Structure 1
């Protein structure tokens, strides 16, 4: 898996988790204090994120950071 593929898969995982919790992008942004265009760029794999941002997203989704990486464990 290339870096680009990894970033896109992580973004898809964040979006999938968010949707499964019935949250819109605006809901999550409000929860974690992020601008919607930034979250959109992350979910669409256009932006690599810092580990601290990933932790904030996981906290906002009320999940563990590791839950967002399930796509990687399955493909290995």
Structure 2
């Protein structure tokens, strides 16, 4: 999931810090989401999908 988030984020031209600000966290935590070392809640996944203006299901693709 983290790889998908990273790919979409980069395609949208956002930095980790910018995405983190959109979802109410910091760059370190956002980096951990992308590396898969920090668990994502359903709420956080929804916030990320909203911030990236994408369907939530696309974040589940490897």
Whether the TM-score (by the shorter chain) exceeds 0.5 is: yes
Q: CA RMSD in A?
A: 0.9
Structure 1: how far apart are the matches of 2:33 and 2:22? 16
Contact 2:8 2:52 in 1 (8 A): yes
Contiguous gaps of at least 5 residues in structure 1 = 1-9, 72-76
TM-score w.r.t. length of structure 2: 0.90
Q: Which residue of 1 aligns with 2:31?
A: 40
User: What is the rounded CA distance, in whole Å, between the counterparts of 2:57 and 2:48 in structure 1?
Assistant: 12
Higher relative contact order (CA 8 A, sep 6+): 2
Deviation of the 1:69 alpha carbon: 1.8
- Three-state SS of the structure 2 residue aligned to 1:56 is helix
Which residue number corresponds to residue 40 of structure 2? 49
Task: Give the total of aligned pairs.
Answer: 62
Match of 1:63 in 2: 54
CA deviation after TM superposition for structure 1 residue 70, in Å? 2.7
Normalised by the size of structure 1, how large is the TM-score? 0.75
Higher helix share: 1
Distance 1:42 1:30 in 2: 14
